[in-house]
Structures are given as C-alpha cells and as structure tokens.
Amino acid sequence: MAGLSPPDGPGTDSECRSEEDRAQVILVAAFSLAVAFVALSVVINGAIFTQNLATRGDTAGGGDALQQRQQAEQMVGDMLEHTNANYSGTTDITGEFRSAVSDLSNASGFQQSVAGRAVDYTHLSASNGTRVYQDSPDNFTNASAGDNWTVAENVDNTRQFDITITDTVELEPPGNKPFAVNLTDTSSSDTWLLAIAEESGTLNLTATYTDAPDSFSATCTAPEPPSQEVGINITAGLFAGQPCEALRFARNVSGGTDELGTYDIRFNNTENIEGTYQLTVDTTSVGDAPNDEPAVYSATVEYTYRTANLVYETDIRVAPGEPDD
C-alpha cells in the first residue's frame, strides 16, 4: 500500500508493488467517509442532547420560591389572626407577633433545609389597628344605644368586614330607612353607601356612589331564606354566599378612581337590622362601638429564599381579608 509499506521491504519488486498500490482512491474515499460518519455521529449526538435538554423541567426551582412565598403569606396571615384573637388584651401585641414570626421562620427554615433550601422570614413592621365587632345578635346600635353613629374615622384600609343578619324580619323596605353602611371620603366628601333592605321576601343590597359624573348605583338581590339568617362578607364581595359586583368595597371613593382614599365609616338606621358584625380598620380612632379591641392591622415581613441556583428576597405585606386579597 502506498506510503504504508516499507519501500525496500520484501515483495517490493515491480509486480508486487503494483498489486499493493491498487485501490488507493477507494481507500482515501473510505477514510474520508469514515471521518464524515464520525462527524455525523457528533451531530446526531447533539440532536439527542437537544431533545433531552428540551424536556427537562424547571431545575432552578423558581416555582418553588413563589409557592413558598404564597405559603409564607398564608401562614403569617394566619398567625396575625391568631395573635389578634388571643393576645389582644396584652400590652405588646406586636411583640407577640414578632416572636411568632421568628418561631415560624425557625420551623420553616428547618423544614426546608432538608430539601436544600434556605428559607427565612424576618419581621419588619406592623401597623396597629382596631377590630370593631358585635358577637351576640342584636341591633347595630352603638354602646349608648345611638341609632346613627360613626364606627371609625380616618380609615385608609378595612379588612374582614362581615355582617351576619340573624333575623331578616327586622330589615325595612328600601324606601323606609333601611340599615346602611356609609363611607365618606374625608377630603372630597364623596360617599359610598351600602343599604341592606328587604321587600316582598327578597333581600336587596344596594351600593350607591355619589360624585357626579362617576355616580352609580348597583343592586344585588337574594331570596329571603327560611332560616332568616344571611351572611354578607363586604370586603370579599359575597352576598348570601354569592359574588356580588355591587359590593366592590368602597368603589370610587376618593376622586372617582378605584383606589381607596381616607374615609370615615358610619352605620345609619341601626335599629333596622339585627345580627352580628366585625371589621378591622387600620386606625385606632374608633367611635362608641359596643366592642372594640386593639389589633395588628397588617404586617410586613422580609422573605428570603435561597438555593444553589436561585436567590429571592422580597417583602411581603400581610393583611388577611383586605378587598384586594
């Protein structure tokens, strides 16, 4: 073979040489094709790897970080509720809440460390508020049996505003001074009025917003239940368990936008309703309510989530039961 046989070795006479030198073109072609096949195998390998890469999931765990954030918000919210329910009488309610967040951080950190994640919650701030409530069925009059009274003043936010009517017979028809929740913007005097009335076996919930040209009025209805009990979750927008568009809490109060301004909350015609209510406001300036207690309105915690490939640090504001919750 050309170049591969020793030139002076045995069998190098002209006859033998011509025999061994044959088929060189085919040989070169075979080598070249072999190289081409190797290159093709590299290409095919690349294609297989691409398919493999395309079917891999979210290895960095961005979904887990968001899921954990959601859980943190839920857990801190539950803890805030628990603190309000059980430590309202103590002098340092935010201190109790802070230590609860610290305990939660330790527990979550330990739990997540098993999966190779570092999770931490740090209490940053909490804003004080007041929970106003009446937990035994009665008219919604104030502590001194006043009929029309101010529940809270200079409110920026309200959460968990629930009314449970225990006796729908007490409700009046729409024209006859029905019970109403009245929100008045402190700067523009725009009002948002929610009237709860009953007429011919039908319950009417009417929200009226007054500030031309954005004024509107919307009504939701529900049949009067035989049990004469009905629940209205105002901040969640539920009337007798059904979503009610009219209930978009404090809609358009303050300047004709959907943002809430600072407003006062009043109850009008409270003798025309019977039941229980509760609401939590972000102010300590409340009226002559039959029951009120200090509460943590909202809290901000710093949430940190780290894995080998992901870092996420953000603040979480927690205010369970706010209208935009």
Partner 1 sequence: MTDDERAVSITLNYVLAIAISAVLVTGLLIAGANFVGDQQESVVRNELSVVGQRLAADLERVDRMVAAGDDVDAARINRSLPTAAVGERYDIELDASPEPELVLTADGADVSVSVTISNRTPLADSSVGSGSVAVVYDQPSGVIALDES
CB of 324 to partner 1, least distance (A): 12
CB contact burial 308-325 (16+ within 10 A = b; e otherwise): eeeebeeebebbbbbbee
The residue to which tokens 């390998």 are assigned: 45
- To partner 1, the closest distance from the beta carbon of 161 in angstroms equals 23
Number of other CB atoms surrounding residue 200 within 10 Å: 6
Which of helix, strand or coil describes residue 59? Answer: coil
Q: Which is nearer to partner 1, 238 or 310 (CB)?
A: 310
* 18 HSE (CA, 13 A, CB side): 2
CB of residue 105 to partner 1, shortest distance in Å: 16
In this structure, what token pair is assigned to residue 98? 């802070």
Q: Give the 3-state secondary structure of residue 155.
A: strand
Specify the stretch interacting with partner 1 by CB under 8 A; choose among 2-10, 64-72, 100-108, 139-147.
64-72
Q: Which is nearer to partner 1, 1 or 66 (CB)?
A: 66
Work out how close the CB of 23 gets to partner 1 at its nearest, in angstroms, rounded to a whole number. 9
- The contact pattern for partner 1, residues 69-88, with x = CB under 8 A and - = no contact, is x-------------------
Per DSSP bridges, beta strands 216-223 and 242-243 are unpaired
Report residue 282 as tokens. Answer: 């972000």
Q: What is the DSSP letter of 214?
A: S
Instruction: Give the DSSP letter of residue 246.
Output: G
Which residue, 28 or 143, is less far from partner 1 as judged by CB?
28
Residue 177 binds partner 1, judged by CB under 8 A: no
Q: Among residues 5, 20, 62, 268, which is the contact residue for partner 1, using CB under 8 A? A: 62
d(Cα 218, Cα 178) in Å, to the nearest integer? 16
Of 193, 218, 238, 316, the one binding partner 1 by CB under 8 A: 316
Q: Which of 301, 304, 209 is CA-nearest to residue 255? A: 209
Binding to partner 1 by CB under 8 A, coded x per residue (else -) over 276-315, reads: ------------------------x-xx----xxxxxxxx
Classify residue 257 by burial, with Cβ atoms within 10 Å: 0-12, 13-18, 19+.
exposed
Site string for partner 1, 23-52 (x = CB under 8 A): --xx-xx--xx--x--xx-xxx-xx-xx--
| Alpha-helix runs per DSSP H in 24-130 | 24-54, 62-86, 93-113
Nearest-approach distance from CB 13 to partner 1, in angstroms: 20
Is residue 60 a contact residue for partner 1 (CB under 8 A)?
Answer: yes
| Residues binding partner 1 (CB under 8 A) | 25-26, 28-29, 32-33, 36, 39-40, 42-44, 46-47, 49-50, 53-54, 56, 58, 60, 62-63, 65-66, 69, 300, 302-303, 308-317
